[in-house]
Amino acid sequence: MLTRRLSRRALYQQVRDVLASRIAAGEWRPGVALPSEADLARELGVSSGTTRKALKLLEAERLLTRRQGHGTFVTDPASDEHALRYTNICTGDGERIASEVEVLEVSKGLASEAQRNRLGLRPDGETCCIRRVHRCDGEPFIVEEIAMPSVLFPGLVERGDLSRSIASLAREFGILLGRAEERLSVGAATEFGAKLLRLPVGAPILMLDRLIHSVDGTPVEWCLRQAHLDDKYYDAKLD
């Protein structure tokens, strides 16, 4: 329902919210074409220009893909192309790294204070936690500690393969991923990171703090990474 008078959000943003919620609800599955701009505008009672702005916003958020002459399609977030949007480490030749991932530890329990703050959980909120190491050509270059709200991923800890990407896990649990935020800093290698990356404890290291949201803004995954890049680099695209 669009509320032109009461909402502070622009009309095209309201249209974006309506379309995103319908995608999240599974009305349009990944790979399915949306109705035309004119049909959507007629259904929602807005102009074609408003609908076009909403579709462009969803495309910028990578929820939709426009194919010239064919229409607008729901993006498959688990596809290789879009799963890599959350992986910014590249080789010296500029290729995104498809790393080998080893799960080291999986646990479930009450969220820590830091996890509650980052994931927006209640004091009694629980998280599923995963520790993993990434290797390229057999050499470790990233260790990560992941926390996800247990309520969004019921039974996750008991599942077999937890080396998969967040895009793949989210799709399995019916979660449509949206925006992501990542903070970069230089920190000191922890005992956990130093041991696996073969560095002295306290050695300078790249710290990556990533928070991924669903399309409705709910925090889905908090990932803390320690990266020893050596001949690799972090690709920060400004688009």
Q: What is the mean pLDDT of each run of 10 residues along the chain (239 residues)?
A: 61 90 82 92 93 91 84 74 65 78 95 97 96 92 96 88 86 82 93 94 94 89 92 67
Domains recognised in the chain with CATH numbers: 11-74 (1.10.10.10), 80-234 (3.40.1410.10)
* Distance from C-alpha of 238 to C-alpha of 231, rounded to nearest angstrom: 22
* Distance from C-alpha of 225 to C-alpha of 88, rounded to nearest angstrom: 12
| Secondary structure (3-state) at 197 | helix
pLDDT of residue 78: 57
- Does residue 11 contact residue 17 with C-beta atoms inside 8 Å? no
Look up residue 109 and give its DSSP letter: E
- Does residue 78 contact residue 166 with C-beta atoms inside 8 Å? no
The one-letter code for the residue type at 132 is R
pLDDT of residue 82: 55
CA-nearest of 180, 206, 179 to 193 is 206
pLDDT of residue 179: 81
Look up residue 156 and give its DSSP letter: -
pLDDT of residue 80: 52
pLDDT of residue 110: 97
pLDDT of residue 51: 94
Name the strand (E) or helix (H) holding 136. strand 126-136
Query: Which ranges in 25-76 belong to alpha helices (H)?
Result: 37-44, 48-60
pLDDT of residue 238: 46
The two tokens of residue 68 are 């010239």
pLDDT of residue 200: 95
Angle 198-204-209 (CA atoms, 0-180°, nearest 5)?
95
pLDDT of residue 49: 94
| Secondary structure (3-state) at 196 | helix
